[in-house]
Structure 1
């Protein structure tokens, strides 16, 4: 008897929360929200009524933001290495490489408040774009 009661208790402990969640979810979606006399209305989400529309960001923008965060967390050398790896691995990013490297140069000057210290991380990634960004950041 003791084992049978334990088995029933375990089964209820697993099944009961699922049943409660599902029944609660279904009950909320069947509430007549707009008109009290309506037989049944289903609550649905619509992108037509959304206040903000999510837009997909371009891969080079995502990369730039990730590298700028990495520069702040680590150092410009790590970010430049990852920029080089990203452009080698995905050639479509190469056309944006100089812009990203310049942004990294400006961010390095802002982080260290020193052109000399920022310039110490300079590498030949995207020609001299990082050095140009350092000069612009000054």
Structure 2
């Protein structure tokens, strides 16, 4: 009887931690990685674990905005991206000092997308003075 109890104890000692780990992993299949306003940025538990020294570095708001606007330029057009740049700098005045560099990046990306500088220049808006036009000119 003592050996039967020992065998059951060993089996539980091996199986129970595996069951607990698997049930915990399955219970938490998605981990919110970014702020609640950021959509579709989820990290699944099966794609790896992240320790405290492996976390993604904090990105500056102007970098996030630039990347969003560059993606929007590719999906839609430079005019829409420039309009949203103006709206973003109006809502968050702290972004205004980065407006010119973001507009130049949009100008360069517009030339890459549309090829001819005159076609990219057609989307120019009075945002951040002539920074978009400067970006178009430097991309030639």
Shorter-chain TM-score range: 0.5 to 0.7
Counterpart in 2 of 1:6?
Answer: none
Unaligned runs of 5+ in 2: 1-17, 25-49
Cα distance change on mapping 1:109 and 1:28 into 2, 3 Å = same
Q: 1:25 aligns with which of 20, 27, 37?
A: 20
| Partner residue, 2:85 | 83
Aligned-residue CA RMSD (Å): 2.2
Compare CA radii of gyration and give the structure with the larger one. Answer: 1
- The structure 1 segments of at least 4 consecutive aligned residues displaced by more than 2 Å after TM superposition are 23-29
Aligned residue pairs: how many?
Answer: 99
Cα distance change on mapping 1:101 and 1:27 into 2, 3 Å? closer
Q: Give per-residue Cα distances to partners, 1:62-120, cap 9 Å, x unaligned.
A: 00000000000000000000000000000000000000000000000000011010000
**SS state of the match for residue 132, structure 1?**
helix
**Structure 1 unaligned blocks of 5 or more:** 1-22, 30-44
Q: TM-score, normalised by structure 1?
A: 0.66
Query: What is the TM-score with the length of structure 2 in the denominator?
Result: 0.65
Q: What is the CA-CA distance between 1:122 and the residue it aligns to?
A: 0.5
- List aligned pairs for 1:57-96, cutoff 5 A: 57-96=59-98
Q: Which has the higher strand share?
A: 2
